[in-house]
Chains A and B, each alone.
Chain A
Amino acid sequence: VNVSRRWLERFLRRSLDAEDVSTRLAAQGAAVDVIEPLNAGLGDIRVALVEEVRQHPNADRLRVCTVNDGSADRRQVVCGAPNVTAGRKYPFAPVGATVPVGKGGAPMRIEKAKLRGELSEGMLCSARELGVGVDADGLWELETDAAPGTFLLEALPLDDDRIVVDVTPNRPDLLGHKGVARELAASLGVPYRLPQLGPNALAPDVPPAQRAAGVRETVTGPLRVAIDDPEGCARFHAAVVRGVRVGPSPAWLRRPLEAVGVRSINNIVDATNYVMLELGQPMHAYDLATLKGPALVARRARAGETLVTLDGVERRLDGETTVIADAARVVGIGGIMGGHETEVRDGTTDLALEAAWFEPSRIRRARRALGLSTEASYRFERGVDRWNAAEAMRRSLEIILLTAGGTIEGSPVDLHPVVANPPRIFLRLARVKQVLGLELGLHEVERCLVAIGATVVAKPDDGRLAVDVPGWRPDLTTEIDLVEEVARMHGYDRVPTELRPFRVGTLPDAPAFAVKERIRRGLVAEGLSEVVSLPFTAADGEASVALLNPLADTGASLRRRLLPTLVRHAERNWNNHVRDVRLFEIGTVFERAEAGKRPVEQLRLGLVVTGAREPGHWASEAAPDVDAWDLKGLAEVAGALAHPGATWHVEGDHFMARVKDGRTVGWAGRLAADTPPWGGALFGVEIDVTDGARGPVRVEPLPTTPAAERDLSLVLPDGVASTAVIQVIRQAAGDLLEAVHVTAEFRGSAVGEGRRSVTFRLTFRAPDRTLRDADVDASETRVLSALERELGLSRRGA
């Protein structure tokens, strides 16, 4: 909400610094988004007295003026405005000054110039040229006692700051200057009161409102006022004014509105807007002559009723919407917008004024149903003070009488069918201490409550305070609300920050988190960098979970797999001329479940690698690119980290990870990508992550005896995998076999087509003695015969 610094100053009767206001409001929970200085460009403009005006010798429409700008010499200024008059004061831009709105709207610097042969040393300005008004048809005649040469900003209340306050939804009281002034007054420890209206010290006489409590209908002057929908409209203030002259507003009424960005319309509409911005109470003025009856009735809309609202749009209404009707038809949507036919026009002479209270939830509903949000609905749906519309009515009547004349017919009425009072809340000092952890005395608690406008009505001996909350704080309904107010007014700054003793939490770290950490450590050790991606991709098959409202550029579905996004990352790196890419991601993927169920989620590990196996180094030839064996290694590492118990199997041109029951849990292989000619092959792994608990590593005793090694070079026909050979070796060799490694593979004419020679290195060891050749020979013989028997293999060259 926009707040004018000057308006606040008039409440507090002291000058304020916008930055200080911002700091104080923030400390009390109303953060300030931005401070916009207004009319800051007028710093060069001075008040000047035109002493003499004569006709320009060479131009009918120009005048040559002698101007007293406070300096010793008089200035000669050529002026085209028809209303320039000797003996009057005008804003004056001397040579070198900048006028905010020059020709074409841009700021204009004033230079010494000759106009049709006459010297002109400066410029007399209109309000429009200074950006403070619209009366462009002449110079701005200043009504000021200030001496010539005084800066305009010192002579007139023009400089201001528009303070944009970020009001939280629980604080409707801050949607008017009075509420903001109240908060500031509490912060500064000073009183506040309603500013005087206009230059006149005496406000016009407005009779007090006639209370019409417990009834649904009353009259004010000729106007019948009724509430047929007390759930939607609980209270209705109305008044009738006759004989007004609708016209432009005086500066004192117009300027505050413009300072907060509200356009001045006419004195009547401005009066209601002024009151809304000052007190937070939205109001509406009807042209009495257009009201049938005349009557104003708050009731539910009837089926099929429509209304053309002020904005010229025809609105269809439903029965949940509270409307204001006259004797014949709907004339306004209660708390949202008035009707077009009954609005105040230039020729209007008689007014009916409304200041009502509408139920917030009903306004919210109607606002949504109509798709129509206004300044009024914004306030009503957050909650307007139900007990203060009388003040708003009185104030608007004063402004109208001051600016438009007229007389009040009858007395204003305050119709409220069901009398209600603001709630009384009991606050225990013990509760304050428990929640805040602060020992606050009764005196301080009371001070805080009074600062928000609450009344402490009783202090019983049991440590409870009976507190009547003010009507402008509909958010205060329970004890804890008051505890928060005490904290806020005591000051969050004064809450200490030293840590107090605490009990350590008893929950352990989540197992899934430990798994993620293990994966991170393991893959970073493999030289891979972790990446985090957005979980959105293009649709990826039937099982993709589609978004109803996808954002541009980020994909229309939730991801089903990690690898497609990782491929995009690799391609982006290639675009950046980065050839070596080593990335992994731990993230959730989504898939459609059976009908009626929410999408299935699965935690996955994905990785991609491309480029050189090792970083280049000057002393070595360039390392070869990563290949399928690197991929297999990374797949095995990923499996060990993410899904213990899964084993990798060759399947066509890729690997699949399976668990015991045959379920596939992972994939590893070469990836299709948009690879530049200089890019390497791209390999990737994706595997499900399980969070089974793992015990600690158990250390095996280190060997105390030497090992013996034997190499077996075997000729393997294609189709016999080395893993099968190793399996047979392990089974046949007996307890002495410690390890089997593949040390070489050889193909060629010496071996024969469709065959390869593979060398296996067998390591033997006995834990308690040094092995003799005979022990190893016996084992080797068993191995060879088993290989012959089970796989039909024999030693190369044998």
Chain B
Amino acid sequence: VVDTCGLLLVVLVTGAHAQTRDAARLLLWALRTCFPTVRLLWADGGYSGQLVDWATTALTLTVQIVRKLAWPVIFRRAHGFHSAESALALVMLPCGPITLQLPNERTSNRREFASPTGWRSLARGGSISTEGSMPGARTEDARTVVTGTAWPTRLSTYGGGMDKGPSWGDRGPAPRSDVDGRFYAGGERGRSRPMYPGTAAAPPPGSTVSAPGAGQPPPHNVGYRQSVRGTDRPAPPASSERGPWFEPREYREPSSPDHLATGTTGRARRLDASGWHWLLIVPIALPLSVPLYNRLSPTAFGLPFFYWWQLGLSVVATTVIGIVHAATRTRR
């Protein structure tokens, strides 16, 4: 799925035996999870039928079927910063192995696409695990393939900025370009490295980790491991550790609430910050102010003050925490 600028939002790679219409459900779900503001999609005739109704009812996504989807489709992209109305072009083409483009220089762009909540939760859900592949690699080269029980195909997910659409594996490595127009030859960065190494994937309870054709269940979470092995990283071109694909320490995800909370500049206020939390100091400070209660009288039920006071503080603590809990409860 790409947006109206042609930038890649989500990708699902399936085996040739998978019905694309079925695959679309997973794909749209992922899209919905990652980009909750998306409202409208265009798809070609191959996706008409049940999928449209399903997307409307289950995902509140409108899918419009267009006769022939011109490429590139120019629509307004409206995700977070352009406008509130989201428009989206859905391009799903029944196809063979796809060569995927690796992330480009626009780190923030990639982050935005590659790491939203959805992929993580999706990965946590276990149906998809991300792993990098060689530039120009065929589907079979994607090492991490985790499938759900109901989804006996090999899945790999990628996100990345693209402006040329998918390139076909049969044509060999496509020239990769980023939005700024710089081009990389396929494989320029040398070794295989995780494209989006951030997704720790655990297969869900209901999944079998198996893939047709893959004898050994693939390692999960390898990308994650590799990513943090500091020294094993391929040297970034700029020879600084904060190379272009190293994500910035602080970045904002447009679709996340903190985007609004933090504004565009300045120190981020923690999302769960609340003035009510100051109240918690009371049940912390009271049990620790020993001189306050280190005495015998007055007694209660025969207990010296020292003892019944501290026992009573447990009730105070529960009350205060209860108040803070109720006051800071997030409404659903």
Instruction: Tell whether A pairs with B.
Output: no
